[in-house]
Structure 1
Amino acid sequence: MKICIFGAGAIGGYMGAKLAQAGADVSLVARGPHLAAMKANGLTLIEESGTSNVSVTASDDAADLGVQDYVIVTLKAHSVPPVVSKMQPLIGPDTTIVSGVNGVPWWYFHKIGGPLEGTRLATVDPGDAQWDGFGPDRVLGCVVYPAAEVSEPGVIRHIEGNRFSLGEPDGSKSERAMALSKALGAAGLKAPVRPRLRDEIWVKLWGNLSFNPISALTHATLDVLCTDPGTRAVARNMMLEAQEIAEKLGVKFPIDVDRRIDGGAAVGAHRTSMLQDLEAGRPMEIDALLGSVQELGRITETQTPTIDAVLALIALRGRVAGLYG
């Protein structure tokens, strides 16, 4: 089984290091100083249990790596459409594309059934780059839970979590899903195959669509924005609007809004990824986390006044910083 991780930053690097340690045939696509460090010194993984180093096959050119059984995409959502053409050397007749990207996935309406079957989302797949370039039948969904960071080029620090939930768009326990689950499990990662992956997508998105932009606008950490009465109310309203959309699409939430916000508060003084991107001068992941939910609101004829307002504010903040649009 050949596995390529396209976008071997913090999360992709963590997964790649664990797979390489387990002896899997894994390769990584990365760039810049991080790639150079991995080529020169291998990939170092810092975990609570200790620090390890493993030699990895890494390149910035997919043509160096050849056709794969699985291509696991761990880029930020807005970074994927521009590189679909560069990924083609990895894709053969039986290649599975594993979409480990935050937000509403571009394949969301593939095999969902009903009147919205096949609907395409312009906010996350402009020009249908992924729908046409990959093909939705190749896709295996993935919800990423671990937290990690690139502490320096070639060095990944694992913070918490080791679960990568997998799911077919039609909810089946396919052979390809079970085989990847087994490979990830052999590497010490949890990879359950879920019949209702869209439910998990929304529970994670619930927090991302609200906590991320509020933190970027206020520079508050999770514990503060989830307990301050004003920002908690804004987050709660955003989540309730999103819940109305999701439930119209058949999603079932296993927890309620207040428990989800309390869970965010319990994480502590954490700076969300959007705040980190703003402070580091990296492009901000706005469309996948908020724009896509607004688009789904229009599709389902659901009013989203709080999401609309926060989206307008964070979009302007991103444009002023030169990190969006």
Structure 2
Amino acid sequence: MTLPRVCILGAGAIGGYLGARLALAGTAEVSLVARGPHLEALRTHGLTLIEGDRHHTVRVPATDTPADLGPQDYVIVTLKANAVPDAVPLLQALLGPETCVVMGVNGVPWWYFHRCPGPWEDHRLASVDPGDAQWTGIGPDRVLGCVVHPAAEVEAPGVVRHIEGTRFSLGEPSGDRSRRALVLAAALSAAGLKAPVRSDIRTEIWVKLWGNLCFNPLSALTGAPLDALCADPGTRGVARAMMLEAQAVAESLGIHVPIDVDRRIAGAAAVGAHKTSMLQDLERGRPMEIEALVGAVAELGRLVGAATPTLDTVLALVRLRAQLAGCLEA
């Protein structure tokens, strides 16, 4: 049987974890797109995955020039949302007539309204896809949605440590159980990962986003980890207000959030003294993923006529915080 050709665009923590698991299992013909010291380490020493006390090293093609790899069956994008528009030309070099692009990216996706029946079908979101770079450069018909649940980190160039979680939920924008979704799910499952094919991937996007849209910006503004944000009555109240505003937006779009707001906050508190990705980016001087996690929800609120006053206030504050730190998205 011919193995699917799978290229990971953005082979950092999550992309490296995913690529290593697929390569170790031999369930796909894997290649990686990376850059800088991480790429040099991948080329020289291979990709090392640490899971608990187990160390695995695999050698797979790695490049910063995707044209060298040729057309793929699947391109799995695991970049930060704010980095994807500029990466479209790189991605295009990997596309053949039937290439499926799997968007394993946080936040509201640029393709959200593709094949979404209703008054906003095929509506474009300027906050996450300025200038329609992804809509026109990739094309929504190629897209397979993906909600990434594992946590991992790049411990050193070429070395990825898995922290927790194995689930990569997949879903067509249309809700169909397509062959391309099932083939990829089978490859991921054979690699020891959980890969359910959802009939409503948008609901799962909102469930993950629900925590990210409040705790990420609040942590960047305060410097506090998750447990402190949830324990403090003031910041907990702000987070709760933002979540309720976002829930009203989601419900206006036909989404039923299947968990109570206080249970979702309790789940965040249980994670402990974890620094959110936005706080980590701020501390490291990297662009912060503000628009996909917060700005897009405000844009959706305006679209459906749902007020988001608390979210809008926090969005304004975190944008300025990022600007002053030199971490504002390009």
Match of 2:263 in 1: 259
Residues in 1 aligned to 2:55 and 2:236: alpha-carbon distance in whole angstroms = 38
Match of 2:154 in 1: 150
Q: Does 1:13 align with 2:48?
A: no
Write the letter of the residue equivalent to 2:14. Answer: I
Residues in 1 aligned to 2:89 and 2:162: alpha-carbon distance in whole angstroms = 31
Q: 1:113-262 residue pairs with structure 2 within 5 A?
A: 113-262=117-266
Which secondary structure does the structure 1 equivalent of 2:49 belong to? Answer: strand
**Please, what is the CA RMSD of the aligned residues?**
0.7
Structure 1 segments of 4+ aligned residues over 2 angstroms from their partners: none
Residues in 1 aligned to 2:62 and 2:194: alpha-carbon distance in whole angstroms = 24
Residues in 2 aligned to 1:40 and 1:53: alpha-carbon distance in whole angstroms = 12
Q: Shift of the alpha carbon at 1:320?
A: 0.0
Q: Which runs of 5+ in 2 are unaligned?
A: none
Identity of matched residues, %:
69
Between Structure 1 and Structure 2, how many residues are aligned? 325
Q: Does 1:44 align with 2:44?
A: no
Q: Shift of the alpha carbon at 1:49?
A: 5.0
Which secondary structure does the structure 1 equivalent of 2:327 belong to? Answer: coil
Write the letter of the residue equivalent to 1:3. Answer: V
Q: Does 1:98 align with 2:102?
A: yes
Write the letter of the residue equivalent to 2:179. Answer: E
Q: Shift of the alpha carbon at 1:252?
A: 1.2
Residues in 2 aligned to 1:168 and 1:83: alpha-carbon distance in whole angstroms = 22
Match of 2:37 in 1: 33
Q: Shift of the alpha carbon at 1:223?
A: 0.7
Q: Shift of the alpha carbon at 1:85?
A: 1.3
Q: Shift of the alpha carbon at 1:66?
A: 0.5
TM-score by length of 1: 0.99
Residues in 2 aligned to 1:174 and 1:160: alpha-carbon distance in whole angstroms = 29
Match of 1:85 in 2: 89
Q: Which runs of 5+ in 1 are unaligned?
A: none
Which secondary structure does the structure 2 equivalent of 1:192 belong to? Answer: coil
Which secondary structure does the structure 1 equivalent of 2:231 belong to? Answer: coil
